Amino acid sequence: MIENGESMVSSFTGGAQGAADHSNVADTSGNQQGDLLDLFRDAAGITSGQDPAFSSTEKFERFHRDNPAVYRAMVMLCRQWINRNGHRNLGINSLVERVRWEIALATNDPDFKIDSNTAPWFSRLIMYREADMAALFKLRRAPEADAWIIELATREGRLDELPALMGWAADDVIGRAA
């Protein structure tokens, strides 16, 4: 339990006495994850990617490319969620809010923003890239994000895996691609 108003950042870095130690959460390769503070040490350069001239997909791709620590933090927190309480369902918006909180505490950057509109892309990317997180999120229809993940899976020759990873019916990929 995190005490005295300390954040998870403190608990990862030896903060409040009695704080939970989550630094041993393993990634898919079996390596130990670093703490969130390490993920955000260079967060002063985080950019929003929110140029109005770009589509939502392009905004997400730019944000993700420019801020890889956000994805790593999300994956780490997902694994913590699964390992801690065995729950297989997690709300992507809860995850986005938690990462916002941790980045704000780690960087003191008043201008940092994670646009909530990135949530559909992050949920699909996490389930697609992280085998142990297949179908972790219940997905709402998000046509642009659905088309993006279908196109990515097609490019990588993994389209046949997509229904299981996303928790979709096999024929749902065709409907979502339309």
Count of Cβ atoms closer than 10 Å to residue 40 Cβ: 25
In the chain, what are the domain boundaries? Answer: 8-15+32-139
With cut-offs at 50, 70 and 90, classify the pLDDT of residue 175. low
Report pTM: 0.71
Q: Tell me what the mean pLDDT of segment 51-58 comes to.
A: 81
Mean pLDDT check: name the lowest of 22-26, 152-156, 169-173.
22-26
- In which residue are the tokens 């791709």 written? 61
Percent of the chain residues topping a pLDDT of 90 = 42
pLDDT at residue number 50: 53
- Give tens-digit pLDDT for 59-86: 999 999 988 989 999 999 999 999 988 8
pLDDT at residue number 67: 87
- Give tens-digit pLDDT for 29-47: 343 344 555 555 444 444 5
pLDDT at residue number 16: 32
pLDDT at residue number 170: 73
| Whether 22 contacts 80, CB under 8 Å | yes
pLDDT at residue number 145: 95
pLDDT at residue number 148: 95
Through-space distance between the first and last CA atoms of the chain, rounded to whole angstroms: 46
pLDDT at residue number 129: 96
Tell me which residue of 176, 142, 143 sits closest to 159, measured CA to CA. 176
Q: Of how many residues is the chain composed?
A: 178
pLDDT at residue number 36: 56
Amino acid making up residue 116: S
